Amino acid sequence: MDITTIEHYLSIEASHQLHQTTLPSPSAIQAASSSLPSPSSPTYLDSHSPSATISHITNDILPALTGQSRSGRYFGFVTGGVQPIAEWADNIVSRVDQNVQVHLPDQTVATEVEDAALRMLAGVLRLEEGDWRGRTFTTGATASNVLGLACGRETIIGRRIPDGEGTVGDLGLLRACRLAGIDDVQVLTSAGHSSLSKASSIVGLGRGSVIQLPLSSEEPWKLDLNAVEEHLQRPGVASIIAVSIGEVNTGRFAVQGLEDMQRLRALADKYGAWIHIDGAFGIFARALEKTQEFETLHKRVEGVELADSITVDGHKLLNVPYDCGVFFTRTASTLQSVFANPNAAYLSSSAQATIPSPLNIGIENSRRWRALPAYAVLLTEGRPGIARSLARMTRLSRGVARYLGKSEHYDLLPSGAGAQEDEIFMIVLFRARRKETNEVLVEKINDTREMYISGTSWQGEKAARVAVSSWKVDPEQDLKVVEAVLTTVAEGKSFDIAAVA
């Protein structure tokens, strides 16, 4: 099959996408599952024509996929949609098939484009570009958290190793700790994302090293700075402070702003700790316009620039395709100390290179050119366009919160001061007041197939979470649909999208 025929089928597939709802129907999922090759079939692993394969994927599989890229009302898992320009760029990535591993400026511009995208993103997030010389693309926030803890581990242990003995990356964790006189490493956080514990396991600290220090049970996302200071004083213990900028259930922030970050910076400097920001989605509040509407959010993310490393998730609020994450730290040498490939001359770039080869500052040696879709969005939208998209997400989230706050059927969570509208960025947490309804709330909402939310728990009881993260959101029209869905579910009625004006 020639490329023209394939592109014809792709155009059919693209038009097919436009008619799908937020979630596929159960019958579509069952049909797709039944269409998959069966090992018991006599034709299993037989060859098929490209046109037959494309037809199968288009007609059977595509209708059974979730619609986060086709609907502004996919509110689950903080999954952004895909900007059209990013989709186009991602197709280019597949066509040219660059393996962005070594900086080879005489052979390809790929690594320069990647570095330009990283600098542009730092600018959109109002980070001083010169302060974040260690920067790279990753597969997502989990991988970026791995990099953050690895760099933190390298630094907090390394500074206690006697001169001339080597680095943690060279020595290994056990020998390095012995030479440094360290008995334990702790990761101090509050309502840290589950990937933080996973990252701690991967880098050899152990899931048990993650210590939760919430300010209170009512506001568990807030970091207790007094408790942090007490833990930093433990003898023979090296520390990483992991700050959640956007807690997964409420979207709230572990610190209240610049004053808290200044105190953490002073404590980290005094006790030799590393500050890592898990800002997967919350850090994008820094890209909102600096208006009164978003004043509180800007206050909450002031001082992020005082940290040592930052996690960003591109396939969330930047709305580029899976997978895409970003990691920032202050020095490229810290990344290279952990991730450099030794004794591989064939992987070397020129001695005059000003951009480090990606394989020496990240996990993968072979990696997709995931920078190009991000570059395309950053170049097309700029800070103003991204700010407008984020503003729409915030306004829809706050509209949903207002409806819930006034509803006789639902409780907006968390209660108290934390439920104030100006604290809401793009996540809304709630539950049904009737226990019977609350037990099946998420299922009933998702059964409408017109909006999708994820279930969670809050203070020991079931809860539901709306995570607004698509560039497609329409604050007025989508709010009408959300209100209609939530009202009909609470009243035990059937939902009809045609009845929503």
- CA pair distance 364, 372, nearest whole angstrom: 17
pLDDT at 4: 56
Residue 332: is its pLDDT beyond 50?
yes
Q: What is the mean pLDDT of residues 390-418?
A: 92
Q: Cβ distance 255 to 242 under 8 Å?
A: no
Helix (H, G, I), strand (E, B), or coil: what is residue 105?
coil
Residue 3: is its pLDDT beyond 70?
no
Residue 368: is its pLDDT beyond 60?
yes
pLDDT at 352: 59
Residue 129: is its pLDDT beyond 90?
no
Q: What is the mean pLDDT of residues 111-124?
A: 97
pLDDT band at 251 (very low <50, low <70, confident <90, very high): very high
Q: Which of 63-77, 354-368, 387-401, 445-459 has the lowest mean pLDDT?
A: 63-77
Residue 141: is its pLDDT beyond 70?
yes
DSSP line for 408-422: SSEEEES-GGGG-GG
Residue 380: is its pLDDT beyond 50?
yes
DSSP line for 222-269: SB-HHHHHHHHT-TTEEEEEEEEBS-TTT--BSS-SHHHHHHHHHHHH
Q: Which residues are CB-neighbours of 488 under 8 A, at least 6 positions away?
A: 448, 494, 495
pLDDT at 82: 92
pLDDT tens digits along 268-325: 999 999 999 999 999 999 999 999 999 999 999 999 999 999 999 999 999 999 999 9
Helix (H, G, I), strand (E, B), or coil: what is residue 460?
coil
Closest alpha carbon to 80 in 281, 252, 376: 281
Residue 416: is its pLDDT beyond 70?
no
Q: What is the mean pLDDT of residues 5-27?
A: 61
Q: What is the mean pLDDT of residues 422-432?
A: 96
pLDDT at 77: 84
Q: Determine the residue type at 182.
A: I
Q: Cβ distance 134 to 335 under 8 Å?
A: yes
Q: Cβ distance 279 to 312 under 8 Å?
A: yes
Q: Cβ distance 400 to 428 under 8 Å?
A: yes
Per-chain mean pLDDT for the chain:
92
